Chains A and B, each alone.
Chain A
Amino acid sequence: MTAPDRPTVTVEVTTWVSKYVGGDGSGPRAFEEPITPGEKLGDLLQRYSMRFPELDAALWDATRTALGEHIEVLVNDAVLGVSHDLGTPLEGGERITLLGQFMGG
């Protein structure tokens, strides 16, 4: 498969999390990420976050195998646990959103 034909997913980084990926911490930033067919969501997130050390530190817990508690991960607008978890293979075309946990009322 040639590079242009590789499936991609959209990684949308919103709210304060965006400052870890070159944004200003208030608006969203989107990245088109090529994936290998069948690549698991967790592997994609590991690969993606390694490019941004601050994001990497915030996204994962100390073991780096499970997510920490302050960034929500949504796949196609659904939080993890509904249709996807970290072990779910990606097909391409998914929209993965990293959303900063909101505290406050």
Chain B
Amino acid sequence: MSPTGTVERPSKKAAATASLPGAYAGKLLRVNLSTGKVSAQPWSPEEMRECVGGIGLGAKILYDEVGARVHWDHPDNRLIMATGPLAGLPVWGTGGLTVVTRGALTDGATSTQANGFFGATLKYSGYDAIVIQGQAKKLSYLYINDDTVEIRDAAHLKGKDTWQTQQALEAEHGLSGHRMSVYSIGPAGENLVRFAAIQGDYGHVASKNGCGAVMGKKRLKAVCIVRGTKALTAHDPRGLVQAADEIAHDLKTDPSTSTLYNWGTLFGVTNLYKLGMLPIKNYTTNVTTVNMEDWAPARLRNGFDHRGHQCNACGMHHCHIQVIRHGPHRGELVDEPEYEGWSGAGWTIGLTDAEAVSWLNTRIDRACVDVNEFGWLCGWVMECMEKGYLTDKQVGFRLNWGDVEGAYRLLQMVTKREGFGDVLAEGVKRASEKVGGEAARCAIYTGKGASPRGHDHRGRWDEMLDTATSSNGTMESSNPTFQTEIGLPARINPFDGEQVARLTGGILGRRHFEDSLGGCSFTFRTRVEMLARALSAATGWHYSLDEAMRFGRRTAAILRAFNLRCGIGPELEYPSERYGSQPLDGPAKDHHVLKQWDHMLDVWYETVGYDRKTGKPKRETLKKLGLDWLARDLWGK
């Protein structure tokens, strides 16, 4: 089957049907791993306006092409690696990758983002997205170099972690730095760990809902894209640069986003601790005796020799590569953890040595599992062993809070599915249900099978509600960002369920728009109006805030319809016992989310215009969104 030949070009007739909006490459790369066939599929200007890119495009393909019986591990499942119209343009952070698939943890829709250079290199090669189907007969990787697209043998990459894989491919092709983008799975994906991720360009991870397991099931080790040579043309280059400058100015100077500009997400630990949202030791406490001044961003960053590791066209002081200074891993190069890494590889498992957390976090990325799910899993095992719910014999060794080498040993067991690691590789929900008893009561997950980001959502109800109701295996709406722009209040009482539900439902769609543009969710933490201006200049459309939100809600409705078809309905929209418990201490100790949960769901459903009983978007909601075809699918004529 491999290598395959040069990709088929679309016919001149098809390519010339209508003039494309600016900024699009104009083609989707179709790859069938079962047959070895690769082809370029043009997509129309009308489809571009309707789907934009990223999650918008991925959701439509998923809905159209993946039926109810095509489960996550079926060869006909699609793995869509999409970028968007702003990718490759001089807007900060526009190397974006959005992975859309039917994921392994929920067996429902997934949308998960990463950055680096994928989006830019793909666009410069002439494609807006890659749609992968089928299953290779043996471990393979996809090589893209402009019109040369080949499915190549990857036997030599078997068992390599993600950084080793990228290094091997760089050596093989004689390319490094920003001249080639590599996104791959690690051993976890090869062994179908249900929370395996896809990592690329040294530290950027599309991590949610087991997208790496889908890639592993397809026996696709990596996607390797040489930076292409094709031109991208913005409709209004001057307007685009102006919009990009204003976004950059906003990020640098706006009080809230200047944090991200200067420190990335390093503020998370100290900030969230203040609010009772830092998850400590698997939600067993919200207080610590650790000196939180040591966790201030400047101390965290300056505790390492470090340098910037920016994504495509990015001017943020966000991503960094750093060197471990002390201890057994002295001299090792690691990725500066995002907040989620400090949380999942650190506080959640009782590990508060910053160098140890940094090291473990990178090991998790290299083995390539979701750091959040691993944190909940490891923290759960630690708590269960402390309380005697799990024994040394069951687990295979003694694992205590904060034991970094033990956590790494557990990671290896999981990624290789060795011993008890085989149970844990199924994720927190399935593993805890299998163990049962008191142990099951300590596990943190949602009814749909996913688990939360690295926050204590018992103090952050909007995120818990979002995680539980979402249709993408993780938070779907994310945090409110400049929400007054769309008529929502600047602040609410975070423990008033009704206010929380109205806000969470009210922002639905914003994130879908962001994640369709081909950029980074951090550099896009600006006003939607600014993003719409950049999109308008790039494409030549007149895109407004209203259209952006409408588009986003349309995409959310399609994902929800897909999940309902997969059998994932409102009956699963609840937190596990521990996830929804009342904190024992800390700032949120007087508040119990479950006391208001049913009312929160009622209000959320009303706000988003979905039917509370069936979970379906209402017919009138779909009609308002221009989704008459989906209304017919869900409600009949």
A81 in the interface (beta carbon within 8 A): yes
Query: Chain B nearest CB: distance from A95 CB in Å?
Result: 11
Determine if B490 and A104 form an interchain contact, defined as CB atoms under 8 angstroms apart.
no
A72 in the interface (beta carbon within 8 A): yes
Stretch at the interface among A2-10, A24-32, A33-41: A24-32
Query: Chain B nearest CB: distance from A64 CB in Å?
Result: 13
Nearest B-chain residue to A73, judged by Cβ:
B491
Q: Tell me, in angstroms, the Cα distance from A27 to B302 when the chains sit together.
A: 14
**Of the candidates A17, A100, A104, which one forms a contact with B265 in the assembled complex, judged by CB atoms under 8 Å apart?**
A104
Which residues on A sit within 8 Å (CB–CB) of B525? Answer: 103-104
Query: Chain B nearest CB: distance from A99 CB in Å?
Result: 6
Query: Chain A nearest CB: distance from B341 CB in Å?
Result: 10
Query: Chain A nearest CB: distance from B590 CB in Å?
Result: 8
Q: Tell me, in angstroms, the Cα distance from A27 to B300 when the chains sit together.
A: 12
Query: Chain A nearest CB: distance from B56 CB in Å?
Result: 21
Query: Chain B nearest CB: distance from A45 CB in Å?
Result: 14
B264 in the interface (beta carbon within 8 A): yes
Which residues on B sit within 8 Å (CB–CB) of A72? Answer: 275, 491
Q: Tell me, in angstroms, the Cα distance from A93 to B264 when the chains sit together.
A: 34
Q: Are A105 and B259 also in contact (CB < 8 A) when A16-B267, A74-B274 are?
A: no
**Of the candidates A82, A97, A104, which one forms a contact with B260 in the assembled complex, judged by CB atoms under 8 Å apart?**
A104
Q: Tell me, in angstroms, the Cα distance from A97 to B273 when the chains sit together.
A: 13
- What mask results when residues 522 to 544 of chain B are scored 1 for a CB within 8 Å of chain A, else 0? 10010000000000000000000
Determine if B297 and A26 form an interchain contact, defined as CB atoms under 8 angstroms apart.
yes
Determine if A81 and B496 form an interchain contact, defined as CB atoms under 8 angstroms apart.
yes
A:51-105 near B, CB below 8 Å: 58, 61, 66-72, 74, 77-82, 97, 99-105
Query: Chain A nearest CB: distance from B582 CB in Å?
Result: 15
A15 in the interface (beta carbon within 8 A): yes
Determine if B479 and A103 form an interchain contact, defined as CB atoms under 8 angstroms apart.
yes
Which residues on B sit within 8 Å (CB–CB) of A61? Answer: 490
- Contact count band on A: 20 to 34
Determine if B296 and A79 form an interchain contact, defined as CB atoms under 8 angstroms apart.
no
Determine if A27 and B490 form an interchain contact, defined as CB atoms under 8 angstroms apart.
no
Determine if B267 and A15 form an interchain contact, defined as CB atoms under 8 angstroms apart.
yes
Interface size on B (CB < 8 Å)? 48
Determine if B258 and A105 form an interchain contact, defined as CB atoms under 8 angstroms apart.
no
Q: Are A15 and B259 also in contact (CB < 8 A) when A72-B275, A82-B495 are?
A: yes
Determine if A99 and B274 form an interchain contact, defined as CB atoms under 8 angstroms apart.
yes
- What mask results when residues 90 to 134 of chain B are scored 1 for a CB within 8 Å of chain A, else 0? 000000000000000000000000000000000000000000000
Query: Chain A nearest CB: distance from B381 CB in Å?
Result: 24
Determine if A103 and B493 form an interchain contact, defined as CB atoms under 8 angstroms apart.
no
Query: Chain B nearest CB: distance from A102 CB in Å?
Result: 4
Nearest A-chain residue to B302, judged by Cβ:
A26
Q: Tell me, in angstroms, the Cα distance from A74 to B495 when the chains sit together.
A: 14
Task: Tell me the dominant secondary structure on chain B's binding face.
Answer: loop
Query: Chain A nearest CB: distance from B231 CB in Å?
Result: 34
Q: Tell me, in angstroms, the Cα distance from A105 to B522 when the chains sit together.
A: 9
Determine if B255 and A102 form an interchain contact, defined as CB atoms under 8 angstroms apart.
no
B466 in the interface (beta carbon within 8 A): no
Nearest B-chain residue to A85, judged by Cβ:
B493
Determine if A103 and B257 form an interchain contact, defined as CB atoms under 8 angstroms apart.
yes
Interface hub of A16, A28, A81, A82 (most chain B Cβ within 10 A): A16
Query: Chain B nearest CB: distance from A42 CB in Å?
Result: 13
B14 in the interface (beta carbon within 8 A): no
**Of the candidates B265, B271, B480, B482, which one forms a contact with A105 in the assembled complex, judged by CB atoms under 8 Å apart?**
B265
Determine if A66 and B275 form an interchain contact, defined as CB atoms under 8 angstroms apart.
no
Determine if A69 and B491 form an interchain contact, defined as CB atoms under 8 angstroms apart.
yes
**Of the candidates B296, B454, B490, which one forms a contact with A69 in the assembled complex, judged by CB atoms under 8 Å apart?**
B490
Determine if A15 and B270 form an interchain contact, defined as CB atoms under 8 angstroms apart.
yes
Which residues on B sit within 8 Å (CB–CB) of A102? Answer: 259, 267-268, 271-272
Determine if B494 and A81 form an interchain contact, defined as CB atoms under 8 angstroms apart.
yes
Q: Tell me, in angstroms, the Cα distance from A68 to B267 when the chains sit together.
A: 20
Query: Chain A nearest CB: distance from B199 CB in Å?
Result: 16
Interface hub of A67, A78, A103 (most chain B Cβ within 10 A): A103
Which residues on A sit within 8 Å (CB–CB) of B483? Answer: 69
- What mask results when residues 564 to 599 of chain B are scored 1 for a CB within 8 Å of chain A, else 0? 000000000000000000000001000000000000
Can you name 11 A-B pairs with beta carbons within 8 Å?
A24-B298, A26-B297, A66-B490, A70-B254, A80-B493, A81-B495, A100-B259, A100-B271, A102-B268, A105-B265, A105-B339
Give 17 new A-B contacts, CB below 8 A, not counting A69-B490, A79-B494. A15-B259, A15-B267, A16-B255, A16-B262, A24-B298, A26-B298, A27-B293, A69-B482, A70-B255, A79-B275, A82-B493, A100-B267, A101-B256, A102-B272, A103-B256, A103-B525, A105-B453
Residues of B within 8 A of A (CB): 254-260, 262-265, 267-268, 270-272, 274-276, 293, 296-299, 338-340, 453-454, 475, 478-484, 490-496, 521-522, 525, 587
